[in-house]
Chains A and B, each alone.
Chain A
Amino acid sequence: MNVGEVDILVGLPTYNNAITVGSIVHTIQSGILRGFPRERAAIINVDGGSRDGTPELVRGVSIDDVRPASNLYALRTLHSISTKYASSPANGVALRTILAAAELLRAKACVVMSPESANIEADWLSKLLRPIYHDNFDLVTPTYGRHKFEGLLITNLLYPMTRALYGLRIREAYSPEFGFSGLLGTQFLGQNVWNDETGGAGVELRFTLAAIAGRYRICQSFLGEKIHIEQRGADLVPALRQTVGALFSALEPDFPVWSIVAGSEPVPTTGADQEVLLEPLRVNRKRLREMFSTGVAELESVFHSILSPSTLAELQRIARLGEEDFHYPAELWVRTVYEFAASYQKSVISRDHIIQALAPLFRGRAFTFLMENRNASAGDVEKNIEGLCLEFERLKPYLLQLWKSRE
């Protein structure tokens, strides 16, 4: 198939997404017809070796199915390409394939969509592409409406730490959906992040950090409520690898960038900045605290290599507290995370082991967050998150001090 050059490229990485991929491709086609009927557009599906016929379904989706329903017509041919990049899924390779395709097709604006979001709307495409195509932004990250207890790793670590270190208040620096300019895509394609020790895990975050470090124009766009098709409550360690592992591994090359940043600035945002949902949700808090206490007791020898004696002693003290008295304060949490980051750079033990060792401590922090915000309103939750962000910013000199002691 000869596609030629395109104005807009939509990347859709998949792996065994037969249940949802058909409707998602329809939604994407509908989004293109509505928002960009005059532009040359293509959809590229990069598949990680699905065994459920996902690529066949993508190839089989016809735009004719969308037209009668929406009464929309494109003025140009909408190409849909499906390619298999490997026999097993790898986010890094998938994104690299999309970036290479974007460069080859000289796409002006690109967007990556996730097949795992259960509620993608046609206008998400416009929201992620329009700032790039019309307003010359280089990166559009999404913001979502979330339950106050969803995405705790984002609210308690990733957002506050990226904000404190890189100085930009980007709520979802790691997201499976984002838009970017061809220029940024080409620049990132040439970076040396594809073969590092993380194996491409969390490459989406590295993409955002590269955009910040390269001083590209970044904005946020509110998409709507985020609903995962699969609940991933148990997948904490892989989630830590993809986010915290990627962030920690970026800190060394980006040291000249983040070491001189003080404070933080907001980024332009279209739509709501953040929406917090408050409906009741049953959470097993007891188990979180138990896993924290067990982790602190059992991993003492590991923590000796990672944490300072005072931080470890404080963690051991709170691990002995009962459920009612338990409290993992923000300052201790920030010190813990910064000491983990410094130990990661020093490689005091295997870096992957350092990331894994953070999991029980994160559970302790999650427990405290749940308790603090049990009856909190949306405003109170935001206030608490803001307080944590400021703590990360306040203690940034401590991280710099740890960093310098390494040298």
Chain B
Amino acid sequence: MREMIISELSQALHEIARSFAHFLPRVIVMLILALVGWVFASVVKVVLRSVLRLVKFDKLSENAGASQLLSKAALPSATEMLSRFVFWVAWLGFILLGVSVLGILGLQEQIARFFLFLPRLFVAMLIMFFGLLAASFFSRAALLAAVNANVPSPRVLSLAVRSIIIVFVLSVVFEELGLAEQTMLVAFGIAFGALMLGLAIAFGIGGRDLAQRFLEKRIVREKKQGNEDELSPL
């Protein structure tokens, strides 16, 4: 009996030692891959940071309004954020590659899904960035046009333009990421529909008298001022 236990134990220890001996090179490979990945990701980060500084990405980001968002959240500049993001994605990619070498069942499928998700993440980020850029451009255009046309509350108009574009961009981003597509679609439909309905009600019914008074006042005022504010700038 005792001999049997010893034999079983030694066999088990032998198995563990053999498994460990079999597994150790894979762990070493994983660590090497992680190290190589870190070096590679660091180089990519440095190069990307230089390129972004060269093309004045921070200025573009400032124009898009992204810099202001980052600054409010006490985050680093857009160039730094993007460089760090790419660094982590690259390094994580290498780490996951290393983990897949370990041959752990189930994990490999998740890793494959992660790699398939990466292009969509990049596209979503691009859409978000250019969406913010468009929102900033069109809201500023609306603000300037409203100020120069002497329209009341120009900032509200500008904010409305920005909000509509950002809501639209967010819905596209979530759709691209495949996150709660149905929910987002319905939520966007409801939000956009509610906004339009609200505007229609506000201007069509609720603000009818106000709009009438405003137009009357404006037309009458313009008629009154017609002969006294017609200086030609040229």
Question: Which A positions have Cβ atoms within 8 angstroms of B?
Answer: 149-154, 174, 228, 231-237, 239-240, 242-243, 281-284, 287, 291, 294-295, 298-299, 302, 305, 348-350, 353, 356-357, 359-360, 362, 366
Distance of A281 Cα from B227 Cα, bound (Å): 9
Name the CB-closest residue of A to B232.
A232
Stretch at the interface among B1-9, B33-41, B44-52, B146-154: B146-154
Name the CB-closest residue of B to A294.
B147
Q: Are B232 and A233 in contact (CB under 8 A)?
A: yes
Q: What sequence of 0s and 1s flags, for each residue 51-66 of chain B, a beta carbon within 8 Å of any chain A beta carbon?
A: 0000000010011000
Interface size on B, as a range, is: 20 to 34
Distance of A340 Cα from B63 Cα, bound (Å): 17
Tell me, rounded to whole Å, the shortest Cβ–Cβ distance linking B178 to chain A. 34
B199 interface residue (CB < 8 Å to A): no
Distance of A356 Cα from B59 Cα, bound (Å): 21
Chain A residues with CB below 8 A from B129, complex form = none
Main secondary structure of the interface of A (DSSP, over half): helix
- B143 contact from A281, A284, A302, Cβ within 8 A: A302
Name the CB-closest residue of B to A227.
B232
Q: Are A154 and B144 in contact (CB under 8 A)?
A: no
- A302 contact from B59, B140, B225, B230, Cβ within 8 A: B140
Chain B residues with CB below 8 A from A360, complex form = 147-148
Q: What sequence of 0s and 1s flags, for each residue 123-156 of chain B, a beta carbon within 8 Å of any chain A beta carbon?
A: 0000000000000010011011101101000110
- A283 contact from B62, B228, B233, Cβ within 8 A: B228
B179 interface residue (CB < 8 Å to A): no
Q: Are B233 and A298 in contact (CB under 8 A)?
A: no
B109 interface residue (CB < 8 Å to A): no
Q: Are A287 and B233 in contact (CB under 8 A)?
A: no
Q: A151-B233, A228-B232, A283-B228 are in contact. Are A356 and B150 (CB under 8 A)?
A: no
B231 interface residue (CB < 8 Å to A): yes
Q: Are A282 and B227 in contact (CB under 8 A)?
A: yes
- B233 contact from A235, A284, A349, Cβ within 8 A: A235
Chain B residues with CB below 8 A from A295, complex form = 147-148
Distance of A240 Cα from B140 Cα, bound (Å): 18
Q: Give 4 new A-B contacts, CB below 8 A, not counting A150-B232, A174-B234, A283-B228.
A: A240-B233, A243-B234, A287-B150, A360-B147
Distance of A11 Cα from B155 Cα, bound (Å): 45
Distance of A363 Cα from B144 Cα, bound (Å): 14
Which of B62, B143, B148 gathers most chain A CB within 10 Å? B148
Q: Are A239 and B225 in contact (CB under 8 A)?
A: no
